[in-house]
C-alpha cells in the first residue's frame, strides 16, 4: 500500500481506464491506487471493515472510526452520490458504492499543515493526548491532492466498472453528534480565523523586518510563513514551493519599497530571484534562494541607507557591483537608467568622487584579486571572468589599482 506521495499525476480522460479491457472492481481499485498513490479499500466484509477502522483510527475524536460510525456512513451511501468525510485533523476519505459494495478512497489531504498550525489545531480541539509532531508525521504519510482531482479520479473508476459515465455528486458527511459535543462548524471557523490572523501578522513582520534591513528577524518570519502553506490548495510540492516563493518575493518587495529602495534595484533583485526559482529542481534549492533573497535585500537596503546616495547613483552602483562580469558600456548604463551619458557621469562623480567606468574597473580588480589569492586559474581566465577580454588592458587596470601586475600579486598574496 502506498502511504506517501506529493507528486501530481495528470489523468486525462482519453488515457484512463477505457484503454484497459474489461476491468473488475478489484483490478480497477488497484490500478487507481497505484496511479494516484491514494489507498482504495473495498469494504465488502466484516474483516475488511475492521481492518479499515484499525488502520486509520488514530484518536477518539475521529467519530467515524468505530463499527457504529462506519455502519452509519455505509447505510447512507447511494449509487448516485459520493460521501466526503473529513476528520478533525483535516484528513479526508471519499466513499462510494458499486452494486451494494462500499468503496473507500483515502486517506488523503488537500492541504499541508505545519507543526505550528497543528499545535494550534490540537489546542483548539482541546486534545492533549496527541502530540503535534506525531500528528504531523501521520499526515505526512498521506498523499496531498486537490479535492476536485480526487473526485474526478473516483468518478472515472466508477464509470469504468459500471459502464455509466454519469458524474456522481459529492455530499459532505458528518457523523451524528451527541448533545455533549461542541459546535464543530463554529470552532472550525474560529480556528481558521486564528490561523489567518497569525499568518497575516507574520507577513507584516516579514515586511517590517525587510524595511529595517533586519536579516535575523526577516528570516524568522519567513521560516514561519514558508511552513504555513495550508491556505494554498496544492498538487505538486515543487510547484507549490514556487508559488510560495512568489508570495514571499512580493512581501519582500513591498518591504523594500517601504524602505525607499530604488525601483530599479528592487526590480533587478526580484527578477534574478524569480529566474533562480524557475530554474530550481528541488525544494532545498528554493528554500536556499529564499534565504539568499532576504539576505541580499537586507544588505542592499542597509548599504543604501548608510551611503545616502541618490536613487540613480545607488541603482548604478548595484548594477556595477552585480554585473561587473558583463561587457558594460556607459551608453548602455545611461540608457537603462533613463539618463544621458554626460549627466550620469556628472551625478555619479559628484556623489562618489569617481566616474562610473573607474568604479567598474575598481570592482573588477577587486574580484580579480580575490581569484588570484584563492585559485590557480590563469590570469587570462581571470580577466575574462571579470568582464575584460583584453589581457593587456586587464593588467593595466589591475596595476592602477594594486600597483603591481596580477602575476606579482599572486606570488605575494596567493595561497601556497
Residues 32 and 151 placed together within one structural domain of the fold? yes
Q: Do residues 169 and 80 lie in contact, with contact meaning Cβ atoms separated by under 8 Å?
A: yes
Give 354's Cβ-side CA count (13 Å radius).
Answer: 10
- Domain endpoint, select from 172, 196, 214: 172
Residues 196 and 329 placed together within one structural domain of the fold? no
Q: Provide the phi-psi class of 260: left if phi over 0, else alpha when psi is between -120 and 50, else beta.
A: left
Question: How far is it, in rounded angstroms, from Cα 409 to Cα 393?
Answer: 16
Show the cell assigned to 134. Answer: 506525531
Number of structural domains, the chain?
A: 3
Per-residue pLDDT of the chain (416 residues; tens, 9 = 90+): 433 333 333 334 433 444 333 458 888 888 888 888 899 999 989 999 999 999 999 999 888 888 899 999 998 888 888 999 999 999 999 999 888 899 999 999 988 777 777 888 888 888 889 998 889 888 888 988 888 889 988 988 888 887 777 788 899 987 764 434 445 555 566 666 776 777 788 889 999 999 999 999 999 988 877 665 543 443 446 777 787 788 889 999 999 999 999 988 999 999 999 999 999 888 788 888 999 999 999 999 998 888 888 989 999 999 999 999 998 999 999 998 999 999 999 999 999 999 999 999 999 999 999 999 999 999 999 999 999 999 999 999 999 999 999 999 999 998 75
Q: Does residue 320 lie in a domain region? A: yes
Residues 245 and 97 placed together within one structural domain of the fold? no
Show the cell assigned to 416. Answer: 601556497
At 40, which helix (H) or strand (E)? strand 40-42
Does a cis peptide bond (omega within 30 degrees of 0) precede residue 66?
no
Range of the domain at 94: 13-172
Residues 356 and 252 placed together within one structural domain of the fold? no
Specify the pTM.
0.55
Amino acid at each position: 500500500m502506498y502511504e506517501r506521495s506529493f507528486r501530481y499525476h495528470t489523468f486525462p480522460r482519453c488515457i484512463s481506464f477505457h484503454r484497459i479491457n474489461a476491468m473488475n472492481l478489484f483490478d480497477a481499485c488497484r490500478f487507481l491506487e497505484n496511479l494516484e498513490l491514494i489507498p482504495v479499500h473495498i469494504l465488502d466484509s466484516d474483516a475488511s471493515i475492521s481492518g479499515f477502522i484499525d488502520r486509520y483510527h488514530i484518536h477518539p475524536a475521529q467519530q467515524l472510526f468505530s463499527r457504529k460510525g462506519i455502519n452509519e456512513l455505509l447505510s447512507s451511501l447511494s449509487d448516485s452520490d459520493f460521501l466526503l468525510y473529513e476528520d478533525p485533523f483535516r484528513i479526508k476519505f471519499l466513499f462510494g458504492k458499486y452494486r451494494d459494495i462500499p468503496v473507500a478512497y483515502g486517506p488523503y489531504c488537500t492541504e499541508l499543515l505545519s507543526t505550528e498550525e497543528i499545535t494550534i489545531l490540537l489546542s483548539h480541539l482541546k486534545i492533549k493526548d496527541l502530540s503535534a509532531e506525531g500528528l504531523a508525521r501521520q499526515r505526512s504519510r498521506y498523499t496531498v491532492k486537490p479535492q476536485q482531482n480526487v473526485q474526478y479520479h473516483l468518478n472515472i473508476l466508477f464509470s469504468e466498472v459500471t459502464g455509466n459515465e454519469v458524474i456522481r455528486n459529492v455530499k459532505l458527511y458528518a457523523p451524528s453528534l451527541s448533545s455533549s459535543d461542541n459546535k464543530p462548524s463554529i470552532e472550525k471557523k474560529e480556528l481558521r480565523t486564528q490561523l489567518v490572523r497569525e499568518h497575516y501578522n507574520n507577513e507584516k513582520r516579514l515586511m517590517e523586518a525587510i524595511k529595517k534591513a533586519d536579516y535575523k528577524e526577516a528570516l524568522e518570519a519567513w521560516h514561519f510563513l514558508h511552513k504555513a502553506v495550508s491556505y494554498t490548495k496544492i498538487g505538486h510540492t515543487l510547484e507549490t514551493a514556487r508559488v510560495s516563493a512568489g508570495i514571499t518575493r512580493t512581501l519582500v518587495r513591498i518591504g523594500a519599497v517601504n524602505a525607499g529602495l530604488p525601483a530599479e534595484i528592487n526590480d533587478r533583485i526580484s527578477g534574478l530571484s524569480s529566474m533562480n526559482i524557475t530554474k530550481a529542481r528541488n525544494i532545498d534549492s528554493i528554500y536556499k534562494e529564499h534565504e539568499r533573497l532576504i539576505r541580499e535585500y537586507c544588505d542592499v537596503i542597509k548599504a543604501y541607507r548608510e551611503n545616502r546616495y541618490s536613487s540613480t547613483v545607488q541603482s548604478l552602483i548595484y548594477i556595477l557591483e552585480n554585473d561587473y562580469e558583463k561587457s558594460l558600456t556607459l551608453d548602455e548604463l545611461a540608457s537603462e537608467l533613463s539618463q544621458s551619458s554626460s549627466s550620469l557621469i556628472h551625478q555619479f562623480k559628484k556623489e562618489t568622487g569617481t566616474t562610473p567606468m573607474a568604479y567598474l574597473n575598481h570592482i573588477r580588480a577587486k574580484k580579480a584579486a580575490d581569484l588570484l589569492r584563492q585559485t590557480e586559474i590563469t590570469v587570462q581566465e581571470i580577466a575574462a571572468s571579470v568582464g575584460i577580454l583584453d589581457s593587456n588592458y586587464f593588467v593595466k587596470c589591475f596595476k592602477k589599482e594594486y600597483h603591481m601586475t596580477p602575476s606579482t600579486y599572486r606570488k605575494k598574496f596567493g595561497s601556497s
